[in-house]
Amino acid sequence: MSQILRSKELNLIAMFLAFLAVFVPYFVNVPALDVFSTKLITITAITTAFTLLLAIYSQFRRGFDFVRRKPRGWIFKVYMMTAILLMLLFALGGLETGPYHWVMYAIITPLSSVNYGILAFYLASTCARAFKARNTKSILLILTSLIMLFYQAPFTGVYVNLGPLGIYLADTFVMAAGRMFLISVTVGAIVFGVRVLLGQEPSVLGIGREE
Amino acid sequence: MMSVLKHFAEYDRRIVYLALFLVVTIMLMTPIGLPISVSPSTMQYYDVLEALGPDDRILAVLNTEFSGYMEIQSGIIASIRVMVEKEAKICIAVAHPEATGIPELVLSAIKSTMDEHQYTYGEDYVVLGYVFPNEASVASAAQDWHGAIHNDFYGNSIEGTFLDEINDWSDWTLISDYTTGIQTTALINHFGLRGAPMIVNGIGVEISILAPYLDTGIYKALLQSMRGGAELEYLTGHPGPGMTAMDAFTIGHYLMILLIVIGNIGYFGYTRNAGRNVE
């Protein structure tokens, strides 16, 4: 039985039927199919939410393995596992007050903010070093960046109206790059989806290696 | 002269760190209140908010971590304040575990406005917590709201709240997305593309990815990063964290320009000549 359930063909058929159940109602108005599709999506949402438990299990399994082998930095794994357990425990005591609330606002908030804030220093340093007028392309890049930096600084607009130029750059070159990125990602996702449905990406189903 | 040019070309990166740290810290601690200009995109965003009324139901999605919140908090606070002033009904949903702590910060920042308009939990606003962990959950909420969501963040049933009037995506007047990019595509796919009006407040690096959706009409308006938030604060007449940060924002931008210019003076005055001499 387990061999049948693990078979590539059966998995692909199940996936293809699930795909049709969600895809077809977008184009055909059949109420019964719509209800089935909605239920299927809700079941998927709830099932995938439970992957959080799987993630916690994996983290602990990997963490215990680290602690047993004691490679460099193993103590951080102990810290991580303790933090997960404590937060689970704290959350049971209430979310609005108490230890959970304190950890959220006194530890997670500042750490997360600092993590993001220090990026500004790296960006500034990289920007100052990389933007050198070595050739025509880099000169164009620097000119554009200078215009955009002046345009984005709110004070500039009070005295110099760079708005039309900034909007022109945003609506043409930036928009073109943005669209190209979105179209590439979307086409890539469609191609990947078709490959999955054709059984050319079996690793998605966990039934083999990627071809 | 050559030593100065050499210094311009090869200065220690820690000088950049120190200069930026000093500029930002000094400007945040002693703001001088530089005037700011309001961009057309913020005006467009403000017009959408201004058109709201008591019959409107808004799904505000915090698609951000705490880190990203620091950049768009001014936009979030200013937007939700206008929604409260317009007495629209607001449901706050979250798409990242860290963001479960954000609604409390936002609601406490606009407490006086909420008290003024007698906002009541359940009747006028609901906080859902982490209900959008993945695309399937967004799709599910768009198609069958009550099939997907039963409780609020505090573990209470959502029955008896204004959410009783919501069945699917079409019952929302507005989807207001505050994003670093987590479930934004899912919201577009399952709410925006079906026809639910959407507005968005995104971090700086997301703007070029979000802008095409403004062009296609999926987004009714786009509020750009912290600067947009500050402009919205200015328009609504409630100065907050955005306007406080604008001095540092402006001077930080000018510092970047100065560093680029200095780097290029060093490049042409020293690095390039040194290269020629070696050849």
Question: In chain B, which residues have their Cβ closer than 8 Å to the Cβ of A115?
Answer: 67
Does B207 lie in the same domain as B119?
yes
ipTM: 0.80
- To the nearest whole percent, how much of chain B has pLDDT over 70? 98
CA within 13 Å, CB half, A192:
9
**Residues in A touching B31 (Cβ below 8 Å):** none
**What is the C-alpha separation between A65 and A77, in angstroms, rounded?**
10
Q: Please check whether residues B90 and B196 belong to one and the same domain.
A: yes
Q: Is the pLDDT of residue A101 over 90?
A: no
Q: What digits encode the pLDDT tens for the residues A45-88?
A: 888 888 888 999 999 999 999 999 999 989 999 999 999 999 88
Is A147 a domain residue? Answer: no
Mind listing the pLDDT tens digit for each residue in B6-22? Answer: 888 888 889 999 999 99
Number of domains comprising chain B: 2
Nearest-Cα distance to chain A for B247, in Å, is 8
For the segment B240-262, the average pLDDT, to the nearest whole number, is: 91
Q: Is residue B34 part of a domain?
A: no
CB B67 within 8 A of CB B102: no
CA distance linking residue B94 with residue B110, whole number of Å:
19
B146 in a domain, yes or no? yes
Find where tokens 């070093």 sit: A129
CB-CB under 8 Å, B264 with A133: yes
**Domain boundaries, position B53:** 40-239
Residues B148 and B212 in one domain: yes
- Which chain B residues are within 8 Å of A93, Cβ to Cβ? none
Among A43, A131, A181, A185, the strongest candidate for a mutation testing the B interface, having the largest count of B CBs within 10 A, is A131
Domain limits at A17? 2-49
- Boundary of a domain, candidates A95, A117, A139: A117
C-alpha span between B209 and A174 (Å, rounded): 9
Instruction: Grade residue A130 by pLDDT with cuts at 50, 70 and 90.
Output: confident
* pLDDT (mean) for B252-269: 91
Q: In angstroms, rounded to a whole number, what is the distance separating the alpha carbons of residues B92 and A121?
A: 33
Q: Verify whether the Cβ–Cβ distance A128 to B256 is below 8 Å.
A: yes
User: Per-residue confidence at A211, pLDDT binned at 50, 70, 90?
Assistant: very low
Whether residues A59 and A101 fall in one domain: yes
Per-residue confidence band for A210, with pLDDT thresholds at 50, 70 and 90: very low
The answer, yes or no, to whether residue A41 has pLDDT greater than 80, is yes
- At residue B3, the pLDDT reads 81
A132: in domain: no
Report residue B121: phi and psi, to 5°: -65, 135
Same-domain pairing of B139 and B57: yes
Report the pLDDT averaged over residues A33-49. 89
Helices A175-197, A8-23: axis angle to 10 degrees equals 130
The token pair that represents B46 in the structure block: 């403000």
The domain tally of chain A equals 3
Q: Is pLDDT larger for residue B4 or for residue B102?
A: B102
Give B189-242 pLDDT, tens digit per residue: 999 999 999 999 999 889 888 988 998 999 999 999 999 999 999 999 999 999
DSSP three-state, residue A133: coil
In the predicted model, what is the mean pLDDT of chain A?
87
Spatial separation of the C-alpha atoms in residues A167 and A170, rounded to whole Å: 5
Do residue A128 and residue B37 have CB atoms under 8 angstroms apart? Answer: no
Contacts with A157 from chain B: Cβ below 8 Å: 36-37, 39
Same-domain check for residues B206 and B233: yes
* Domain identity same for B21 and B113: no
Query: What is the distance between the alpha carbons of residues B72 and B206, in angstroms, rounded to a whole number?
Result: 12
The per-residue pLDDT for A98 is 82
Whether B135 and B152 share a structural domain: yes
Chain B residues near residue A117 by CB distance under 8 angstroms: 67, 70
- Whether A111 and A75 share a structural domain: yes
How does pLDDT run across B104-137, given as a tens digit for each residue?
999 999 999 999 999 999 999 999 989 999 899 9
From the CB of residue B215, how many other CB atoms can be counted at a distance below 10 Å? Answer: 13
Let me know whether B184 and B251 are in one domain: no
On whether residue B158 sits in a domain, the answer given is: yes
Pair (B231, B250) in one structural domain: no
The C-alpha of B45 sits at a distance from chain A's nearest C-alpha, in angstroms, of 16
Residue B197 lies inside a defined structural domain of this protein? yes
Q: Measure the CA–CA gap between A96 and B104, rounded to whole angstroms.
A: 9
Higher pLDDT, A104 or B162: B162
Say if residue A41 is in the same domain as residue A62. Answer: no
Q: Are residues A62 and A108 in the same domain?
A: yes
Q: Are residues A108 and A79 in the same domain?
A: yes
**Which residues on adjacent β-strands are paired with residue B90?**
B58, B125
Does residue A151 lie in a domain region? no
Residue B193 and residue B112 share a domain = yes
Query: Is there a single domain that holds both residue A33 and residue A58?
Result: no
| Residue A19 to residues A13, A26, A207, B90, Cα–Cα distance (Å) | 10, 12, 18, 34
Q: What percent of chain A has pLDDT over 90?
A: 31
Tokens of B7: 């210094």
Chain B contact for A152 (CB, 8 A cutoff)? yes
Phi and psi at residue B129, in whole multiples of 5°?
A: 80, -155
Is A190 a domain residue?
Answer: yes
In a domain, A144, yes or no: no
Measure CB to CB from residue B212 to each of A115, A150, A178 and give the nearest one: A178
**Would residue A123 count as lying in a domain?**
no
Q: Which of B106, B260, B268, B271 to mutate to test the interface with A (most CBs of A within 10 A)?
A: B260
Confidence of residue B277 (pLDDT cuts 50, 70, 90): low
- At B228, which CATH number? 3.40.50
Mean pLDDT, chain B, rounded, equals 92
Chain A CB contacts of B34 below 8 Å: 154-155, 158
Q: Would you say B170 and B177 are in contact if contact means Cβ atoms under 8 Å apart? A: no
In the predicted structure, residue A175 carries a pLDDT above the cut 90: no
Q: Is A185 within a domain?
A: yes
Question: What is the average pLDDT across B166-180?
Answer: 96
Q: Give pLDDT tens digits for B46-77.
A: 999 999 999 999 999 999 998 899 999 999 99
| A174 and chain B in contact, CB less than 8 A | yes
Q: Which range among A3-12, B31-40, B215-224 has the greatest average pLDDT?
A: B215-224
Residue B33 lies in a domain: no
Residue A65 to residues A19, A75, A110, Cα–Cα distance (Å) = 38, 12, 30
Task: Report how many Cβ contacts below 8 Å link chain A to chain B.
Answer: 163
Residues B252 and B133 in one domain: no
Do residue A59 and residue A113 come from a single domain? yes
Q: Is residue A21 part of a domain?
A: yes
Q: What is the pLDDT of residue B4?
A: 83
Q: Do both B187 and B266 map to the same domain? A: no
